[in-house]
Amino acid sequence: MFDTVNLVAFLAINLLLLAWILVFAAITLLGSALGRTTVAAGGVAFLGSVLVFLLGSIPQFGALAPGGLITWANQLAVGESVAPNTGALAMSLVFVLILLIT
């Protein structure tokens, strides 16, 4: 009924999803550092998250946006032959570092 689990693909998918969610965790931490109240912090985090999703819809930036990690993880989950999107991974990690330094 179920096929065997490819452990390498499973770990790769989880690492890609971790890198994706770290972007939003960094946005949330920046919002909590900038906002004086919890409402302001939540507003900054929400607007930052919406901005990241909107930037992903721009054709020139979409492949490098954190959403590219989700596409890569989906292709790994299905078992397709996939070209690695290292640009999205690098951009996400750089984005996290910039947000945490700020």
- Which tens digits make up the pLDDT trace of 70-82? 989 999 988 888 8
Question: Who's near 64: CB < 8 A, 6+ residues apart?
Answer: 87, 88, 91
- Please say if the pLDDT value at position 44 is more than 90: yes
Q: 1 lies in a domain?
A: no
Q: 2 lies in a domain?
A: no
Q: 20 lies in a domain?
A: yes
Q: Which two tokens stand for residue 43?
A: 């507003």
Rounded distance between C-alpha atoms, residue 26 and residue 44, angstroms: 12
Helix, strand, or coil here: 75?
helix
Q: Which domain holds residue 81?
A: 7-101
pTM reported for the whole predicted model = 0.87
Q: 80 lies in a domain?
A: yes
Structural domains in the chain (count):
1
Q: 52 lies in a domain?
A: yes
Q: 61 lies in a domain?
A: yes
Q: 43 lies in a domain?
A: yes
Q: 13 lies in a domain?
A: yes
Cα angle, residue 74 at apex, residues 11 and 28 outer, rounded to 5°: 75
